[in-house]
Amino acid sequence: MSNGNIRVLFVDDEPNVLAGLRRMLHGKRREWDMTFAGSGEAALAAMREQPFDVVVSDMRMPGMNGAELLGAIREDWPDAIRLVLSGQSDQELTLRAVGPAHQYLTKPCDPHLLEKTIERACAAHDDSRSKAVRRAVARLSSLPSLPDAYAELIAEMNSPQASIESAGRIISQDLGMSAKILQLINSSFFGLPVHVTDVEHATALLGLNIIRPLVLSANVFRQFEEASLGRLSLSGLVDHSLCVAMMARRIAVAESSPVEFVDNALLAGLMHDVGQIIMAENFTEDYDATIELACTSGQPLARLEAETFGFTHADIGGHLLSLWGLPGDIVNAVTYHHDPQRSLGEEFDTLTTIHVAEVGVNAENEGVPEHESLDAEYLHRVGKTDRIEAWQAEWDHPAKNLTNA
């Protein structure tokens, strides 16, 4: 991308599909250097010869399938943007939640959507903050890991034999994570009518779509319980994240969003400030000073982070979720929730729910130093200015529990 041309590798075992892509994207030949490979093995050979900026792969292919190909590319060329262009399948549904791809597109794909997806992904990847984040991450001693139980739970949810009992058993194998999940579930945020003492009971009460993001967030929060985070309060951050997650979910529901969209809003809300934990642990002294300045000056924390470090907690949090292979919609929501204008989105999505929820929760908490306002220009761009008043009405109940959402 440095020379102005995006190098894109398309992979599909069907020659007619590759021929269709060539015709469909003929108009991009001056801007993109495109190569077409008929198998996963041929794609890896092309990557070894000269790495590509973007790899767009089918999922179901003989020999090396798309998941295996993108997994290998993630290992050897982690900077490559990895996209899936394929038909629906059980395997893809699993990878949609956790896997080696950044984003998923379904065949047949509108040419404009494919072009926009590639260009947006490249723009975000080539952003100066993104480069600063990658340099910073290279210096970190460690990053939180994606819990094994999360991947197992996703596989279980997409299994024909999926059940509440089997999901509960998967989670219960990790006693520490189970305890953290139960702590979250029994908080006032969920408003359950009974005190829950085991994960299977919790799963039965709330459902797998609620438990799934809790497994991920609880594991991440638990990894930092013994860490030295300076002025950052982990319990305060957890409470704030729950508030934002609940409000984002209510906004998604209010907009009659699909179930997957609602689930993504909840997960993005729970994880939107994970970058603060990473920065507090790894840059404790400087980050303490940044938090102190935000508190005394009233300036937004994200703005001061960008001035001090060259990136924000949102940038580094989005980068982490990208490394984990979470869906691009969630990654974008976390990355841009303080500055949605930096995104190239043109329609209501998970980012919109997190941005609005974050501003709303902060507006209701006088102790929070970053009283940012809604980005009116961004909301106009996504065609939702007429919904601002209705969303602001939700701000009167920032901690409204899930059972009443």
Helix (H) or strand (E) holding 384: none
Residues 171 and 112 both lie in one domain: no
The pLDDT of residue 163: 80
Domain termination site, one of 198, 223, 248 = 223
Q: What is the 3-state secondary structure (H, E, C) of 109-138?
A: CCHHHHHHHHHHHHHHHHCHHHHHHHHHHH
Lookup: tokens for 299: 């300036």
Q: What is the 3-state secondary structure (H, E, C) of 362-393?
A: HHHCCCCCCCCCCCHHHHHHCCCHHHHHHHHH
Beta strands in 58-114 (DSSP E): 81-86, 103-106
Q: State yes or no: pLDDT of 39 exceeds 80.
A: yes
Residues 336 and 387 both lie in one domain: yes
DSSP bridge partners of 86:
106
Domain termination site, one of 169, 188, 223 = 223
Q: State yes or no: pLDDT of 201 exceeds 80.
A: yes
pLDDT in tens, 235-257: 999 999 999 999 999 999 999 99
Provide the CATH number for the domain around residue 343.
Answer: 1.10.3210.10
| Distance between CA atoms of residues 19 and 36, nearest Å | 9
Q: State yes or no: pLDDT of 180 exceeds 60.
A: yes
pLDDT tier at 106, thresholds 50, 70, 90:
confident
Whether this model's pTM surpasses 0.85: no
Residues 248 and 351 both lie in one domain: yes
**What is the rounded average pLDDT of the residues 259-279?**
94
CA 163 to each of CA 91, 168, 260, 403: distance values in angstroms, whole numbers, following the listed order: 18, 9, 19, 22
**What is the rounded average pLDDT of the residues 314-342?**
88
pLDDT in tens, 365-376: 654 444 468 899
pLDDT tier at 393, thresholds 50, 70, 90:
confident
Asked whether 370 and 401 are in contact (CB, 8 A), the reply is no
The better pLDDT of the pair 399, 70 is held by: 70
Residues 284 and 253 both lie in one domain: yes
**What is the rounded average pLDDT of the residues 110-119?**
84
Residues 371 and 242 both lie in one domain: yes
Residues 257 and 210 both lie in one domain: no
Number of domains present in the structure of the chain? 3
Residue 135 maps to a domain: no
Residues 260 and 306 both lie in one domain: yes
Asked whether 380 and 386 are in contact (CB, 8 A), the reply is no
Q: How many CB atoms lie within 10 A of CB 373?
A: 8
Residues 240 and 387 both lie in one domain: yes
Residues 284 and 363 both lie in one domain: yes
| Distance between CA atoms of residues 385 and 76, nearest Å | 44
Asked whether 313 and 335 are in contact (CB, 8 A), the reply is no
Domain termination site, one of 179, 203, 223 = 223
Residue 127 maps to a domain: no
What's the domain range around 96?
6-122
Nearest CA to 276 among 235, 242, 310, 317? Answer: 317
Residues 192 and 316 both lie in one domain: no
| Distance between CA atoms of residues 70 and 180, nearest Å | 33
pLDDT tier at 183, thresholds 50, 70, 90:
confident
Residue 402 maps to a domain: no
| Distance between CA atoms of residues 230 and 227, nearest Å | 9
pLDDT in tens, 300-324: 999 999 999 999 999 999 988 876 7
Residue 228 maps to a domain: no
Residue 137 maps to a domain: no
Residue 181 maps to a domain: yes
Provide the CATH number for the domain around residue 104.
Answer: 3.40.50.2300
pLDDT in tens, 59-87: 889 999 888 898 899 888 877 888 888 87
CA-derived radius of gyration, the chain: 21
Residue 133 maps to a domain: no
For the chain, give the percent of residues with pLDDT over 90.
41
What is the edge-to-edge ordering of all strands in the sheet holding 32-37?
Answer: 32-37, 6-11, 54-57, 81-86, 103-106
Least confident of 133-142, 169-178, 233-242, 369-378: 133-142
Q: Is 387 exposed, middle or buried (0-12, 13-18, 19+ CB in 10 A)?
A: middle
Residues 238 and 370 both lie in one domain: yes
Residues 165 and 262 both lie in one domain: no
pLDDT tier at 12, thresholds 50, 70, 90:
very high
For the chain, give the percent of residues with pLDDT over 70.
86
Residue 89 maps to a domain: yes
Amino acid in the structure at residue 80: A
Lookup: tokens for 32: 């993109």
The pLDDT of residue 117: 81
